[in-house]
Amino acid sequence: MNDFTELLDGLRAAVAARSAPSPGLRQRLAGLDDPATVRRAGRILAELPPSGPEPRPIRVAVLATCTIGPFEHLLRATLVATGTQPTLLLGDYGTFDLSLAAGEIGGSPDVVTCLLDERYFLPREWSAVDPDGLAAHVAARFADLRGLILACLERTPAAFVLHTVPIPAELRDSVISWRARATVGRAWHRLNADLLGLAEEDSRITVVDLAGELADVAVACRDDRLHRYADLPYTDGALLVLARQVARVVAARSGLSRKVLALDLDNTLWGGVLGETGEAGLQLGGLYPGNCYQALQRVVRRLREQGVILVLASKNDAGPVDEALANHPEMLLRPQDFAVRAVNWSAKAENLRHAAETLNLAASAFVFMDDSPFERGHVAAELPGVAVVAADGDPAYLVRSLLRSGWFDVPELTDTDLKRPALYRSRALRTGFSTGFASSEDYLRALRTQVISHPVTAFETGRVAQLAARTNQFNLTGVRFDEGVTTAMSTDPDHLVASFTVSDRFGHEGIVGAAWIERRDRIWRVLNLVLSCRVFGRGIEFAIADWIVGRAREAGATALVGRYVPTNRNSVAAGFWEKAGFTPSDEDGTYTVVPATAPTCLPTWITDPETK
Amino acid sequence: MTEMDDTASVVLNTLSEVLNKSTGELRARPVLATHGWDSLASLEVLSRLESGLTVTLDLRAYHAAHTVTALIDLVAAAATSNAAAGRRG
């Protein structure tokens, strides 16, 4: 039985058992390059029934200027592979403009994907001796599309994904003068630049550079037979490239981005085995293959700069590793770049589990890169949520192997993203500081924790929406208010959105919590409250509850109602409202307190510098 | 098993999966139009046969094949022609 058959049988078995494919199956699906097999997988997965809140349900509409055809199955398979539970809503053929103009996209999608082809932008007839006229028409059609998309965004809360369009050979080659051909090419590149520019106009628009992606992979873009016969402008191979990009965008918008990169050292971050060659014998920098390892380090450093937390997972003696990291002249990653350094002879799965505990992150936040198939296999078996990247084979491919799946993609970098590596390094240091105190309360007092609470500002809505998308554990109702809704609530007198920032003796944690509150008829209702797992166990949630009670009291509210809706990830928050002094009410899952008489629940070790 | 049998098996299995009909049903009622053979299903079968058997089919001849048997014959002929071209090459 070949790998494909085994994978497809595994997907059929998951469908028959009415359960989502396992992380292992999903990762194998993500690694498939044969579009025909991915299409088959998508067809099988179309029969998968909804399975509750995990994996993350997502509704994706596809509107197309051409036939959607195989894109449906390819998109479904790639969305499942990235860890979502997709429902696809397919626009009818020939209704692209109409759907956007009416702003009525059925099925309340979370994301709308637009599948574009050249015929949308080109006139039926055009003159090869008037390339400027052609360019003007293309620009006018782009303006039409832009107007439709921006108007539609005002009527739907959905995010949009568009893509650039590869220049059609017929357009380029039916112009015989090189000068005019350059004019036509420039007009087409301007169209693609304008499409990419849409992403800067609204944070809910993402534009995938399909033309650029196709230039880097060995697949035919078009099959003229399918185009002429069925208005299918792209091959299955090209559509798979697009589907993967769209799935990456959806995963990033759904908060499924990975946060941690755990790296092996020998034959991964450097060539050779340190214990055998010594520091001076390592392959790093200079000519091939040392330049491959240095290129990987450069890319890893770039990821760290954008908020990816680095963990070392190496079977080595710690002393020589520390010396090599600190002193090797070609080393780009230094000891302080790693939040956790698990350099010892324990099993790597155990080390990664420990690193996850130290950082207070789930295994599903980790990507693990190692050259040893044994180590990768062991980690995959022990921690199935960890995404595994192979670093064996020719080191020239190391960078491509790490980056090709877009594990760390986010819609937009926030201030917290930029600070995250330092924050988590502080956290790891804090864990070390916690030994030597008589009680955990002594320790917490010594941390000198401050919680700064205030209504969210326009600069914070992005981070707050990101918290809503990414927080699974301390997420009291599971309702994920996106940036658009959060912004709207923050300026609405009937609502209050608050952000909560924490700092302590080790530094600023940034915004770690948020609350969305409705306030009508002197009754305040907490629609959701989320708290980053980074600050669990420090009583921050009670400081937040205390602040909300105080604001409700000041506003003269007669009741403050909290809610807890259990999901399969938020059991850590069960009982929170009662511990904060709220009483269960008749309505299922709700808890009430009278602000005027509520006692404080602010932990004694926390201060609010604004009320001090 | 002959090459022709192999090709027949691939064609039947592909049709079976795309049209959601058993190979027995397809053999018993070989007229493709009776099995939901619309343009998208036919193009999915085309794409899978071309990539799976490394052949290129003429779309006109492909759409002129109205039965399972005719489709098997068309694909087998393309595979033979492809193999001959490979030997010449």
* pLDDT tens for each residue of A56-114: 899 999 999 999 999 999 999 999 999 999 999 999 999 999 999 988 788 899 999 99
Prediction pTM value? 0.75
Cα-based angle B49, B50, B54 (whole degrees, multiple of 5): 115
* Residue A435 vs residue A50, higher pLDDT: A50
Q: Among candidates A35, A77, A4, which has minimal Cα distance to A226?
A: A35
The answer to whether A409 and A251 are in contact (CB under 8 A) is: yes
Interface mutation vs chain B, best among A39, A74, A92, most B CBs within 10 Å: A39
**Which residues in chain B are closer than 8 Å to A225, comparing Cβ atoms?**
59
Give A70 to chain B, closest Cα distance, Å.
7
Query: According to the model, what pLDDT value does residue B83 have?
Result: 72
**Which residues in chain B are closer than 8 Å to A43, comparing Cβ atoms?**
17-18
Q: For residue B44, give the nearest of A34, A67, A70 by CB distance.
A: A70
d(CA B18, CA B14): 6
Q: For residue A36, give the nearest of B39, B40, B48 by CB distance.
A: B48
Mean pLDDT, residues A194-198 taken together: 98
Look at the alpha carbons of A241, A243, A247, A250 in this order and tell me if their dihedral is positive or negative. positive
Interface mutation vs chain A, best among B44, B45, B53, most A CBs within 10 Å: B44
**Which residues in chain B are closer than 8 Å to A67, comparing Cβ atoms?**
40
Query: According to the model, what pLDDT value does residue A112 have?
Result: 97
Mean pLDDT, residues A352-369 taken together: 94
**Which residues in chain A are closer than 8 Å to B59, comparing Cβ atoms?**
225, 229
Give B71 to chain A, closest Cα distance, Å.
18
Q: Is the peptide bond before A289 cis (omega within 30 degrees of 0)?
A: yes
Helix (H) or strand (E) holding A68: none
A67 at the B interface (CB within 8 A)?
yes
Give B88 to chain A, closest Cα distance, Å.
25
Give B89 to chain A, closest Cα distance, Å.
23
Q: For residue A39, give the nearest of B39, B44, B59 by CB distance.
A: B44
Q: For residue A36, give the nearest of B40, B47, B59 by CB distance.
A: B47
Interface mutation vs chain B, best among A33, A225, A231, most B CBs within 10 Å: A225
Mean pLDDT, residues A149-169 taken together: 95
Nearest CA in chain A to B50: A36
Average of per-residue pLDDT values in chain A: 91
Nearest CA in chain A to B59: A225
Q: For residue A69, give the nearest of B40, B51, B52 by CB distance.
A: B40
Query: According to the model, what pLDDT value does residue A463 have?
Result: 85
Six token digits for residue A69? 């055809």
Q: Of chain B residues 26-65, which have a CB less than 8 A from chain A?
A: 39-40, 43-44, 47-48, 51-52, 59
The answer to whether A24 and A384 are in contact (CB under 8 A) is: yes
pLDDT at A550 over 80: yes
**Are residues B17 and A40, on separate chains, in Cβ contact within 8 Å?**
yes
Residue A344 DSSP SS3 = strand
Query: According to the model, what pLDDT value does residue A469 have?
Result: 85
Nearest CA in chain A to B58: A225
Nearest CA in chain B to A228: B59
Nearest CA in chain A to B45: A36
The answer to whether A420 and A464 are in contact (CB under 8 A) is: no
Query: Residue A438's pLDDT band (boundaries 50, 70, 90)?
Result: low
**Which residues in chain A are closer than 8 Å to B43, comparing Cβ atoms?**
69-70, 226, 229-230, 232
Give B47 to chain A, closest Cα distance, Å.
7
Average of per-residue pLDDT values in chain B: 88
DSSP bridge partners of A87: A59
**Are residues A236 and B47, on separate chains, in Cβ contact within 8 Å?**
yes
Helix (H) or strand (E) holding A165: none
A39 at the B interface (CB within 8 A)?
yes
Give B19 to chain A, closest Cα distance, Å.
11
pLDDT tens figures, A11-49 = 999 999 999 999 889 999 998 999 989 999 999 999 998
A43 at the B interface (CB within 8 A)?
yes
pLDDT at B36 over 70: yes
pLDDT tens figures, A497-545 = 999 998 887 777 788 999 999 999 899 999 999 998 777 778 899 999 9
A222 at the B interface (CB within 8 A)?
no
All residues at 6 or more sequence positions from A366 whose CB lies less than 8 Å from its CB, including other chains: A258, A259, A260, A261, A262, A311, A352, A355, A356, A383, A385, A386, A387
Domains of chain B plus CATH, in order, are: 3-83 (1.10.1200.10)
All residues at 6 or more sequence positions from B42 whose CB lies less than 8 Å from its CB, including other chains: B32, B62, B63
Q: For residue A69, give the nearest of B43, B48, B52 by CB distance.
A: B43
Q: Among candidates A511, A412, A472, A479, which has minimal Cα distance to A204?
A: A412
Give A592 to chain B, closest Cα distance, Å.
55
**Are residues A36 and B43, on separate chains, in Cβ contact within 8 Å?**
no
Nearest CA in chain A to B57: A225
Query: Residue A612's pLDDT band (boundaries 50, 70, 90)?
Result: very low
Q: What is the dihedral of CA A134, A136, A137, A142, to 10 degrees?
A: 130
pLDDT at A429 over 80: no
Mean pLDDT, residues A560-568 taken together: 90
Nearest CA in chain B to A37: B48
B81 at the A interface (CB within 8 A)?
no
Give the number of other Cβ atoms within 10 Å of residue A108's Cβ.
12
Q: For residue B39, give the nearest of A225, A230, A236 by CB distance.
A: A230
Interface mutation vs chain A, best among B10, B16, B47, most A CBs within 10 Å: B47
Tell me, what DSSP letter sits at residue B34?
A: G
**Which residues in chain A are closer than 8 Å to B52, comparing Cβ atoms?**
36
**Are residues B52 and A36, on separate chains, in Cβ contact within 8 Å?**
yes
pLDDT tens figures, A447-458 = 788 899 999 998
pLDDT at A276 over 90: no
Six token digits for residue A478? 């599971």
The answer to whether A220 and A237 are in contact (CB under 8 A) is: yes
Query: According to the model, what pLDDT value does residue A431 have?
Result: 67
ipTM: 0.80
User: Chains A, B: CB contacts under 8 A, how many?
Assistant: 31
pLDDT at A432 over 70: no
Query: According to the model, what pLDDT value does residue A435 have?
Result: 47
Nearest CA in chain A to B46: A226
pLDDT at A334 over 50: yes
